[in-house]
Structure 1
Amino acid sequence: MKTYLSCALICLSFPAITAHATSIELGGFLKANARYVDGNIAFQDSWAGGGQVVPSAKRTQFSAQESRFNIRLDHEQILGFAEIDFVGSAQGNPIISNSYAPRLRHAFIQYQGITAGQTWSTLVNTSSFAETADLGGPLVGQAMVRQTQFCFSTVHWQFALENPYTYGTTAQHNEDKTQWIDTSNDYLPDTIIRYNQAGDWGNVSVSALIRYLDPADSRQWGGGLSMGAKLFTYARDDLRLQLHYGNLGRYVGTDAAKDIFDGEIETSLSGMFAYRHFWTERSRSTLFYGHTTTQVEQTDRHHWGINLFTDLTQALSVGVELGRYEIDDAIRDAAAPRPKGASNYAQLSMQFSL
């Protein structure tokens, strides 16, 4: 259920009076989580593709920081949208108030096929996201980036220039320690071209990314391909898929792959699938799996899970999820082998959608 407001902006001119109406739609949801993690990968609010292997990780965390609020403005042919949530904030602490600062998720304008502002990257097919209790689901195998862009869309095609950023480490010289890349030379926008096709069977998108990475000692062009789909199967069931290959770096796997590692451009192979089955009109389950491997850094990350959601009312749903996140990176240096790890988790979520 959403809340609608309307306001009339009256523009006076002589001798005529003209009224322009702007509709205002408020939305979002309140979400409460209880999450338990047990293994040797350090606790995360959601498995974001990275992770630190530790001797032991056992923790329970209650949180409401995934709650979000948004506003949509429609004025003639202009659409404006803004959204905030509170994920990732370190403002408060459990000793006093558990306060969380708001963060900007979306803020964009749409007009006659042009989108300008911060929203999902054109590479991202949001319909292919799995329904999960863990925020974002199998992030390790999917494209999930929001950033500022200028995008032109037609019925089937999208062409976008998006914010450039190089995430990675410089080449090691002699005994110098690896340094994070200086991003002051990110001056050419990333370019994305996407084709979409949809029907009663679902939808599929294919995207190409072209980018120029220009940190010191690593100037080079990169590119990659991405596919996302949501396909209807039996009755209300659906299959959701993503497949990515190339120099996609930070666009895929969240923190599972860098753009450049030790001065070399990274190539990654990532994929995810999620099958959602409806048991009744109100209850459904999703089985999902995500996986990313990289060639240069030789990372290997997995995430799988299964859940059950039930709608208690039209606006209120509750879900429980069990899953496992694994780090199985290859050994690059025999003198300093990488630790491998895995953590199991259980999560209970309740969500009230506005």
Structure 2
Amino acid sequence: MTTTRPFRTHPFTRACAMASLSLTGAMATPVLAQDTQGEVDELREQVQELQRRIDNAVSEAPQPDRDNPYLVRDGDGIKIGRTTISFDGFIKADAIFGSNGDGTKNTYSVGIPRNFAAAASSGESDWKTGFTARESRLAIGSKTDEVAGHTLRTYLEMDFNQDADAPGNEVVSNSYAPRLRQAYGSWNGWTAGQTYTTFTNLAALPDILNQGYMAAFIYTTQPQLRYTMAAPGGKFMAALENPEDGFGTTSYDDQSYPDLTARYQLRNRYGIYSVSGVLRNMEHDNPAGEDDEKLGGAVSLSARIPTIGRDDLRLQYSYGHLGRYMGLFTYPDVDLGEQAAGEVDPLTTYGATAAYRHFWSPTWRSSLVLSQTEIVEDLAFSPSGALGDFDKVASIHANLIWQAHENFQVGLEYAHWDFRAIANDSNSQYEQVMASAKYSF
């Protein structure tokens, strides 16, 4: 069945047609023009009024603002109003092969020296295999212009690389909950939230697949309030950061004052250099006796020095009461024997790292990393089990990485760890081979 709809002309079209016919008739027959002149004038006024309404509607409509559009592409982000939102991160797939038993339990690819030491002293000689994608990261950033005269930035970053005993399993789902890495905002030189400690210099971080996890590097994220200001040749930063002490999974959590950190960074064509320090108030609330506390501190020097072509040398040396700030909490913050007696005695350690990165070609590169840390004082407690039976740790990393594209790299890395036992000065070793593919976005 066919439905017929009546044809209705647009008022503007009808007016134009009638005006046209009228004008044509006026030219052809002067008498008719004289009779219809009033009707033509009326139609002309209607057309003019309609045109005025169209012009007013166009002039009053919102116009796109090139400096502040509602939704446009802005660099690597999307601008909504005055705020640019950006997303980035990477998918990282790792295959880990560890000697002397599996030092990366539950495919915990990060690993820590204490786990490696336990594997090295296990007496096993077979290699274990683990696969993981838990180091994959997702980050959301924002930039808002002209917030009280300054740019406001925020950053939120997470991964899934939790402890070996975190909820999740490798039997069926391999599902793991997200983990907060960084969450901070910055405005007019002030940064508040959780990010890397001011005590470290990430520019000197070696380029390895298991990033940041060599024996002695300063590599910690924690909540803080930081101020950054320009300084001759670079910048100066000072911060109040979350205080913490303990060892392993034990947190004493009885600090009265925040950690005070500061760093001066110099940057020029000769490289990036920094000197940093930390002051820490070590406390122990002893239920059976008097409380005790001591002021501790440490310093760290680091550099990233360009050499030949794109090659560079990265160095870091740290000394003092480093505790949890160095080597993923390799050593406790205080002498555990003294602590058991109700005394606080900050443990003095040192750490040194040297890394050379060489480019074989624009897309192929390698890094050789040497790192060592050691307790530099006699301990009052029995070493049995307290430190995994070691007081000196050395690591070597060597890799080959193919950067096929800025968003895609694959690599192979070998790591060797050496642990010196406290009691008998013997050594045990742990080895690891890691293959990795990283897809950035």
- After TM superposition, the score normalised by the length of structure 2 is 0.70
Amino acid at match of 2:242: N
1:88 maps to which of 162, 170, 178: 162
What's the counterpart of residue 421 of structure 2? 329
Deviation at 1:144, TM superposition (A): 0.3
Residues 181 and 345 of structure 1: CA distance in aligned 2, closer, same or farther (over 3 Å): closer
Match of 1:163 among 221, 242, 246: 242
Counterpart code for 1:39: N
Secondary structure at 2:324 match in 1: helix
Q: Deviation string for 1:149-202 (max 9, x for gaps)?
A: 001111221111000111249xxxxxxxxx95632x212000012111000121
Q: How many pairs are equivalent?
A: 325
1:240 counterpart = 2:319? no
Q: CA deviation at 1:61?
A: 0.5
Q: Aligned partners of 1:3, 1:351: CA distance in 2, in Å?
A: 19
**Partners of 1:244 and 1:252 in 2: CA distance:** 9
Q: Is the 8 A contact 2:181 2:195 kept in 1?
A: yes
Matched with 1:173 is none
Counterparts of 2:312 and 2:421 in 1: how far apart (Å)?
32
Other-structure match for 2:123: 55
Partners of 1:40 and 1:96 in 2: how far apart?
Answer: 23
* Equivalent residue in structure 2 for 1:46, among 110, 122, 125: 110
Partner AA of 1:126 in structure 2: L
Does residue 319 (structure 1) correspond to residue 319 (structure 2)? The answer is no
Percent of paired sites with the same residue: 29
3-state DSSP class of the match of 2:99? strand
The aligned residue for residue 266 of structure 1 is 347
One-letter amino acid matched to 2:411 = G
Tell me how far 1:47 sits from its aligned partner.
Answer: 4.1
Match for residue 373 of structure 2 among 272, 285, 292: 292
CA distance in 2 between partners of 1:339 and 1:82 (Å): 45
Alignment of 1:181-196 (within 5 A): 182-183=252-253, 185-196=254-265
**2:141 pairs with 1:72:** yes
More helix by share: 2
Letter in 2 for 1:54: S
- CA contact under 8 A between 2:159 and 2:179: conserved in structure 1? yes
Q: Distance in 1 between matches of 2:426 and 2:329?
A: 17
| Aligned-pair CA distance for 1:135 | 3.4
Residue 92 of structure 1 and its aligned partner are, at CA, apart by 1.7
Task: Rate the CA distance shift 1:41–1:247 in 2: closer, same or farther, 3 A.
Answer: farther
Residues 91-133 of structure 1: CA deviation (Å, up to 9, x unaligned): 2211110111100000001011111000000001111111111
Determine if the alignment matches structure 1 residue 202 to structure 2 residue 271.
yes
The residue number in structure 1 matching 2:188 is: 112
- 1: distance between equivalents of 2:312 and 2:330? 27
1:250 equivalent to 2:320? Answer no
Superposition TM-score, scaled by structure 1 size:
0.87
Q: What letter is aligned with 2:293?
A: R
Structure 1, unpaired ranges of 5+: 9-20, 170-178, 332-336
CA RMSD of aligned residues (A): 2.0
Distance in 2 (CA, whole Å) between partners of 1:180 and 1:315 is 39
Distance in structure 2 (CA, Å) of the matches to 1:278 and 1:213: 44
1:164 aligned partner, one-letter code: P
40-49 or 322-331, which deviates more: 40-49
- Judged with a 3 Å threshold, the aligned counterparts in structure 2 of structure 1 residues 258 and 201 are, in CA distance, closer, same or farther, namely same
Partner residue of 1:15? none
Q: Distance in 1 between matches of 2:190 and 2:438?
A: 33
Structure with greater strand share of residues: 1
Q: Deviations over 1:249-271 (max 9, x none)?
A: 11111121211122221000101
Q: Is the 8 A contact 1:162 1:189 kept in 2?
A: yes
Change (3 A) 1:40 1:325: farther
Q: Secondary structure of 2:203's match? A: helix
Shift of 1:32: 0.5
CA contact (8 A) 1:130 1:137 kept: no
1:277 equivalent in alignment to 2:369: no
Q: Aligned partners of 1:39, 1:254: CA distance in 2, in Å?
A: 21
Amino acid in the other structure paired with 1:292:
T
| 1:339, distance to aligned residue in structure 2 (A) | 7.3
Cα distance in 1 for residues equivalent to 2:315 and 2:112: 18
Cross-structure match for 1:221: 295
Counterpart for residue 307 of structure 1: 399
Secondary structure at the aligned position of 1:312 is classed as strand
Q: Is the 8 A contact 1:181 1:215 kept in 2?
A: no
Q: Measured at CA, do residues 230 and 269 of structure 1 come closer, stay the same or move farther in structure 2, by a change above 3 Å? A: same
Contact 2:199 2:263 in 1 (8 A): yes
Distance of 2:158 and 2:104 partners within structure 1: 24
Partner of 1:145: 220
Runs of 4+ off more than 4 Å: 337-340
| Range moving further from structure 2, 58-67 or 321-330 | 321-330
The Cα offsets for residues 49-79 of structure 1, whole Å up to 9 and x where unpaired, read as: 3231312162111110010010110002101
The one-letter code matched in structure 1 to 2:255 is: D
- What whole-Å deviation, never above 9, does each CA across 1:217-270 have from its counterpart, x for those lacking one? 541010111112111111100111111000111111112121112222100010
In 1: Cα distance, 2:372 partner to 2:111 partner: 12
Mapped to 2, the partners of 1:181 and 1:311 lie a distance apart of 41
Instruction: Indicate if the aligned counterparts of 1:23 and 1:73 stay in contact, CA closer than 8 A.
Output: yes
What is the Cα deviation at residue 40 of structure 1?
Answer: 6.0
CA distance in 1, matches of 2:298, 2:201: 15
Alpha carbons 2:416, 2:429 under 8 Å: kept: yes
User: Counterpart of 2:130 in 1: which secondary structure?
Assistant: strand
Please say which structure displays the higher CA radius of gyration: 2
